[in-house]
Amino acid sequence: MRITAAFFILLLIAGIFILGAGVLLTGHAQRKEQIMNEETEAISAPEVNGVNDLTITVVYDNNPYKEGLGTAWGFSCLITGTEKTILFDTGGDGAILLNNMEKLAIEPNSVELVVLSHIHGDHTGGLGDFLGKKPDVTVYLPKSFPKRFKEGVRGYGAKVIEVEEALKICENVYSTGQLGTLIKEESLIVRTNKGLVVITGCAHPGIVKIVGAAKKLLKDDIVLVMGGFHLEWATKGKLQEIISAFKKLGVRYAGPCHCSGEKARSLFEKHFGKSYINIGAGRVITMADLE
């Protein structure tokens, strides 16, 4: 009888211990789950609130890429996936521009904004024919453009925005502002979730200076620099210097086209390897190219 009572007391004590341990363990598991949830949320939250499905279609370039498209001296590309659809530069010839757009299934009507890098005819020559098809756009151009050019654009019914300092064009898209002295030029910057994409027309103010300005303006990594780098007559030493400067600035991908020159293109290809982007008329660059 006495043994049975002692056994029951022991059982009761053991029960209290098991129950206590259970409560403690449950509390620990709940806390652990809570911490894990917090960690998962922190990882899944976007680090940079940039564009995540940017597409750049090269509509006009003197370098060939896609069969069946016209090539001529100049540059133009379409930027989609951003808040507004943007045509950056218009090439030198309106007929080639519109024909290439048609072959690439780009409706002129889909363009909301036009950004002109600089006054040279190989970047502005296609504008008139384009505005003839789609006059209801806003055209961003360097303030230094001649008055009669601006009046001509307004004459089509388009709105003109004169760019002097760096400015925001639409969500995640910026202009460097007009840089340079002799030939003033603006470049386009798109903030993506992989860093900044810098697009240049001819890079007359100097490609390294432009990339440096973009980095200083938006304080972010540079994922891609593409467009005309204006290096046709640069010596090999100068080209090496520019490539080193790109690496120092942390540029991950380079796509020199238009007025970059064959020598620069092949040297960039050699130094950037898989991170070199071959650009010509009809090339489409998506986020998948910037892994």
Residue numbers 228-267 binding Zn ion by CB under 5 A: 259
Enumerate residues 6+ apart whose C-beta is below 8 A from 231. Answer: 207, 238, 239, 242, 256, 259, 260, 261, 263, 264
Name the residue nearer to Zn ion (CB basis): 122 or 194: 122
For residue 18, which amino acid is it? I
Q: Quickly tell me which residue has 């995640």 as its tokens.
A: 172
In the complex, minimum distance from the CB of residue 142 to Zn ion, in angstroms, rounded to a whole number = 12
Helix/strand/coil for 91 = coil
User: Do the strands 188-192 and 75-80 form a parallel or antiparallel pair, or are they unpaired?
Assistant: unpaired
Q: Which DSSP state fits 110?
A: G
The count of residues interacting with Zn ion (CB under 5 A) is: 4
> Residue from 89, 93, 122, 186 that binds Zn ion (CB under 5 A)?
122
Q: Does residue 184 bind Zn ion (CB under 5 A)?
A: no
Nearer to Zn ion, 50 or 91 (CB): 91
Residue at 173: amino acid letter? V
The total of other beta-carbon atoms located within 10 Å of residue 2's CB is 6
Residue among 122 and 186 whose Cβ is closer to Zn ion = 122
Nearer to Zn ion, 65 or 135 (CB): 65
Q: Which is nearer to Zn ion, 108 or 261 (CB)?
A: 261
Q: Near Zn ion by CB under 5 A, which window of 26-34, 87-95, 200-208, 235-243?
A: 200-208
Evaluate whether 287 touches 50 at the Cβ level (below 8 Å). Answer: no
Binding-site member from 115, 197, 202, 254 for Zn ion (CB under 5 A): 202
Q: Which stretch binds Zn ion (CB under 5 A): 113-121, 130-138, 167-175, 265-273?
A: 113-121
Whether the CB-CB separation of 257 and 60 falls below 8 Å is answered with no
Binder among 77, 120, 169, 256 for Zn ion (CB under 5 A): 120
In whole angstroms, what is the distance from residue 196 CA to residue 271 CA?
20
The residues of the shown chain that bind Zn ion, judged by CB under 5 A, are: 120, 122, 202, 259
